[in-house]
Amino acid sequence: MPANHSLPYSAIALALIGSAAILLAGSSAWLALGIVIVWLGTLWLALPEPEIPLEPVDRAEVSRDAIHETIDPVGLPLLLLEGTQIVEANQAARAALGDHVRDQDARIALRHPDAMRLIDAADGTSVAIPGFTGTRTLWQLTRRNIDGNRWLIELTDRTSESDVSRSHTDFVANASHELRTPLASIIGYAETLKEDGAGLDSETRQRFIGIVEREAQRMLSLVEDLMTLSHVEAEKHDRPNEVLDLGQLASRVVAEVSSLKGKERVELAVAEPGLQVLGDAGQLEQLLRNLIDNALKYGGDDTPVSIAVTRADGGGTQLSVLDRGPGIAPEHLPHLTRRFYRTDPGRSRASGGTGLGLAIVKHIVERHRGELDITSKLGKGTKVSVTIPLAQS
């Protein structure tokens, strides 16, 4: 019997007395012995299990493990502090700041003066820190109290919102500048005609009127492109569902464009039949017209602009526009789809360009879940290719 069990002596005595009584009553000694053995066996089975001593529990470690399991899966970066010590950082925080922040003093790990303000701040205090994790980043840090000594820092990445806001600001500034230039010209020549029109000879007057008309047309084109860009951006998450034959669409557009004066050199090199895509006919037509206009403006004056619709190597339909002009320098290629970006501002404005054509093309391609590629070689020309997935048959 284990040492940890206390023996039930009174019960054993009662079993022996009962056996003695059986013997005195004339029963067999073997019977009396059997009764004693069974009785003692039932007493043994009824004994409680021995107590096993438990190892001492580190409650602080258990608490930390529980906290880790609670906050680690949270998508928002979180830092748990005791005083100024960072005792826990969840996975999102470690990804943003690095694994080294755990068990560091916050004044060393965060290093930014604005972040240090949170150490003695009230619950709910927030600070916005530009450049917190990189040159163009913006993070918002918020203090959340837990108890007298422990508190959280919530980190929210505001970089994307800042980029959008900066983009909108730049867009408004650029659009205002682009509109102001022709408007100032129109006002200037209109005032001259109003004040000195009677003294101007017919040729000069007609030249001034022509400038006013040209600049007004430039403003109209810019406004139309701005409205188109806004419309395309608003729809870019709505994938078109109309089945179109891209070769047929290209054939029709090229036939219309090449019939216009000065655009006879636009040619359809190849249009494979049966290449169907899910598309918006109006937007795809505008995409092709924008690419053709660019090729005519910046390509060689006497060289053809070739259009091709073929099956792409990796699947899908490829629409390409090739000119044989002077080409584009490599440093300009990554920026061509930016709004109002021009490789040659003077030439672009003189030709009536708004600087929005390729920005519109990019958004149309994105809406059609396609890919845009621009390649160019100086002295040889530029090729713009748009690849759109084939419609499922």
- The answer to whether 12 and 40 are in contact (CB under 8 A) is yes
| 299, 343, 349, 351, 353 from 346: Cα distances, Å | 16, 9, 5, 9, 10
What is the arithmetic mean of pLDDT over 268-287?
92
| 53, 308, 358 from 372: Cα distances, Å | 72, 15, 10
Q: Describe the crossing of helices 281-298 and 246-258 by its angle, rounded to 10 degrees.
A: 50
Residue, of 45 and 174, whose pLDDT is higher: 174
Q: What is the pLDDT of residue 389?
A: 93
Q: What is the pLDDT of residue 27?
A: 58
Q: What is the pLDDT of residue 253?
A: 94
- The answer to whether 79 and 102 are in contact (CB under 8 A) is no
Q: What is the pLDDT of residue 30?
A: 62
Q: What is the pLDDT of residue 52?
A: 56
Q: What is the pLDDT of residue 349?
A: 60
Residue 340: CB atoms within 10 A of its CB come to: 19
Residue, of 282 and 299, whose pLDDT is higher: 282
Among the ranges 151-155, 320-324, 347-351, which has the highest mean pLDDT value? 320-324
Q: What is the pLDDT of residue 57?
A: 45
Say how many residues make up the chain. 393
Query: Is residue 59 scored above 90 in pLDDT?
Result: no
Distance CA 314, CA 310 (A): 12
Q: Is the entire prediction scored with pTM above 0.75?
A: no
Q: What is the pLDDT of residue 225?
A: 86
> For residue 157, which phi and psi values (nearest 5 degrees)?
-80, 110
Distance CA 28, CA 34 (A): 10
Residue 388: CB atoms within 10 A of its CB come to: 24
Q: Which residue has the tokens 């972040």?
A: 115
3-state secondary structure the chain: CCCCCCCCHHHHHHHHHHHHHHHHCCCCHHHHHHHHHHHHHHHHHHCCCCCCCCCCCCHHHHHHHHHHHHHCCCCCCEEEEECCEEEEECHHHHHHHCHHHCCCEHHHHCCCHHHHHHHHCCCCCEEEEECCCCCCCEEEEEEEECCCCEEEEEEEECHHHHHHHHHHHHHHHHHHHHHHHHHHHHHHHHHHHHHHHHHCCHHHHHHHHHHHHHHHHHHHHHHHHHHHHHHHHHHCCCCCCEEEEHHHHHHHHHHHHHCCCCCCCEEEEEECCCCEEEECHHHHHHHHHHHHHHHHHHCCCCCCEEEEEEECCCCCEEEEEEECCCCCCHHHHHHCCCCCCCCCHHHHHHCCCCCCHHHHHHHHHHHCCCEEEEEEECCCEEEEEEEECECCC
293-318 pLDDT, tens per residue? 989 988 877 889 999 999 998 789 99
104-141 pLDDT, tens per residue? 888 888 888 888 888 888 888 988 888 888 778 888 99
| Token representation of residue 181 | 């230039």
82-105 pLDDT, tens per residue? 888 888 888 888 888 888 888 888
Distance CA 186, CA 137 (A): 42
Distance CA 36, CA 82 (A): 66
What is the arithmetic mean of pLDDT over 343-364?
77
- Residues with Cβ within 8 Å of 70's Cβ and at least 6 positions away in sequence, in order, are none
Smallest CA-to-CA distance from 276 within 241, 305, 308, 302 is with 241
Mean pLDDT (the chain) is 82
Q: Over pLDDT 70: what percentage of the chain?
A: 79
| Token representation of residue 36 | 């004693």
Distance CA 218, CA 354 (A): 8
Beta strand pairing status for 150-157 and 138-145? antiparallel
Residue, of 107 and 365, whose pLDDT is higher: 365
Residue 8: CB atoms within 10 A of its CB come to: 15
First to last CA, the chain: 82
| 17, 31, 38, 212 from 27: Cα distances, Å | 14, 7, 17, 137
Q: Which domains does the chain have, with CATH numbers?
A: 9-46 (no CATH), 62-157 (3.30.450.20), 162-235 (1.10.287.130), 242-388 (3.30.565.10)
Q: What is the pLDDT of residue 7?
A: 53
